[in-house]
């Protein structure tokens, strides 16, 4: 019943963004203790300005910054996450800063980022707003800068029952999109429902090309070894003619 209530509330995308903010503010400490290893796909990052979008505790951004010796900006909608990122930057002696901001309205100048990481973060953005976020990513990236995006794949076994339930809700017109999910996070005796929109890799690639990004590579990748639980896209902003 709780899942059904969340799906019905998801009809308003503006409410979803606020909900993502509220949930990650509440679970920030526990989440930062759980997510402690960087994604190895980050290895393709370039030297220079590195921006980690939806950074959480900024594990990926810090890993890349130390490897490439670049300046780091960790950005997350949650103020609590942003403060954890700042602590991690200081502890790791990385040159950079952390800010709390919305990916829909990035407070960053045009054409400045050498590397943009959006690892396991864009799936918290409703479908209606994904083109806005990708346009913002394109805007702040330097021409030929590296853009790395990973999103959970809806084909994971753990989503099977959710997907079947969503199909039923779709057939009775209770929801309009079967690829929206709410995944529980338990904190003491309370459950926090985290919103996810999980598009197909074909749809994400098509959208990226439509806004003017050049897709260099795409496929499936895992956070854990030998698993393919996420889709990924590596892209760049083309030089203007």
Tell me the pLDDT band of 5, cut-offs 50, 70 and 90: low
CB-CB neighbours of 137 under 10 Å:
25
Q: What integer is the mean pLDDT of 215-234?
A: 88
Tell me the pLDDT band of 224, cut-offs 50, 70 and 90: low
Distances (CA, A) of 172 to 13, 37, 89, 154: 20, 42, 49, 21
If 0-12 CB within 10 Å is exposed, 13-18 middle and 19+ buried, where does residue 198 land?
buried
Kindly report the average pLDDT of the chain as a whole number: 91
Residue 115 in this model has a pLDDT that exceeds 50: yes
- Which CATH number goes with the domain that contains 156? 3.40.50.150
Element spanning 15, H or E: helix 13-34
Q: What integer is the mean pLDDT of 185-197?
A: 89
Q: What was the pLDDT predicted at 126?
A: 94
Residue 55 in this model has a pLDDT that exceeds 60: yes
Element spanning 114, H or E: strand 113-119
Q: What was the pLDDT predicted at 169?
A: 84
Total number of domains constituting the chain: 1
Q: What integer is the mean pLDDT of 173-190?
A: 87
- Characterise 96 by phi-psi region: left (phi > 0), alpha (psi -120 to 50), beta (else): left
Q: What was the pLDDT predicted at 228?
A: 81
Tell me the pLDDT band of 12, cut-offs 50, 70 and 90: confident
Domain coverage including residue 30: 2-237
- Characterise 165 by phi-psi region: left (phi > 0), alpha (psi -120 to 50), beta (else): alpha
């Amino acid at each position: 019943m709780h899942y059904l209530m969340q799906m019905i509330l998801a009809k308003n995308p503006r409410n979803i963004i606020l909900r993502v903010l509220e949930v990650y503010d509440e679970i920030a400490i526990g989440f930062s203790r759980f997510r402690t290893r960087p994604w190895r796909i980050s290895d393709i990052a370039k030297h220079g300005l590195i921006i980690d979008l939806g950074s959480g505790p900024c594990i990926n951004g810090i890993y890349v910054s130390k490897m490439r010796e670049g300046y780091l900006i960790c950005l997350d909608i949650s103020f609590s996450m942003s403060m954890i990122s700042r602590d991690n930057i200081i502890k790791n002696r990385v040159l950079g800063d952390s800010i709390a901001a919305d990916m829909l309205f990035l407070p960053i100048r045009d054409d400045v980022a050498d590397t943009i990481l959006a690892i396991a973060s864009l799936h918290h953005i409703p479908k209606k707003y994904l083109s806005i976020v990708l346009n913002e990513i394109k805007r702040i990236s330097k021409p030929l800068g590296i853009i790395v995006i990973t999103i959970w794949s809806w084909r994971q076994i753990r989503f099977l029952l959710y997907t079947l339930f969503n199909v039923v809700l779709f057939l009775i017109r209770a929801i309009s999109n079967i690829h929206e999910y709410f995944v529980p996070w338990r904190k003491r005796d309370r459950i926090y429902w985290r919103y996810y929109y999980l598009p197909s890799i074909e749809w994400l690639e098509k959208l990226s090309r439509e806004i003017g990004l050049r897709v260099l590579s795409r496929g499936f990748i895992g956070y854990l070894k030998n698993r393919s639980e996420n889709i990924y896209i590596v892209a760049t902003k083309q030089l203007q003619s």
